[in-house]
């Protein structure tokens, strides 16, 4: 359900604002959740093998790193998408999305268009 709602919201945002910020936020969110689920499933399926890696390599903690960080990253993008919808579609506020080097989005008022 949440991904259906996210896809609809992304289309609504991009239709109102133009551009592809909504689609990008949704796509990254969806892919982060898929990657997180794959990491968790791999951790469950290959647990015994991962605990006995060659060369005394440490256990990769796919559940802790993949699942928890992946779902957090996915939720961050989903929340940014919802904030973008609230500001640009519901309130009509000129809004822009900035991405830092790590791919973390910031939803900000567009002061140049607001004047």
Tell me the pLDDT tens digit for each residue of 38-59: 999 988 888 888 778 888 878 7
- Predicted confidence at residue 54, as pLDDT, reads 83
The predicted pLDDT at position 58 comes to: 80
DSSP string, the chain: -HHHHHHHHHHHHHHHH-SSHHHHHHHHHHHHHHHHHHHHHHHHHTHHHHHT-GGGPPP--IIIIIIIIHHHHHHHHHHHHHHHHIIIIIS---EEEEE-TTS-EEEEE-HHHH-
Could you tell me the pTM of the whole model?
0.86
């Amino acid at each position: 359900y949440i991904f259906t709602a996210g896809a609809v919201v992304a289309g609504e945002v991009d239709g109102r604002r133009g551009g592809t910020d909504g689609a990008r936020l949704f796509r990254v969110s969806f892919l982060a959740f898929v990657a997180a689920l794959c990491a968790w499933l791999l951790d469950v399926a290959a647990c015994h093998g991962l605990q006995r890696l060659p060369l005394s390599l440490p256990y990769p903690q796919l559940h802790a790193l993949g699942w928890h960080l992946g779902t957090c990253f996915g939720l961050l993008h989903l929340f940014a998408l919802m904030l973008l919808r609230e500001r640009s579609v519901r309130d009509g506020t000129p809004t822009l999305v900035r991405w830092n080097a790590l791919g973390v989005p910031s939803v900000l008022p567009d002061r140049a268009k607001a004047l």
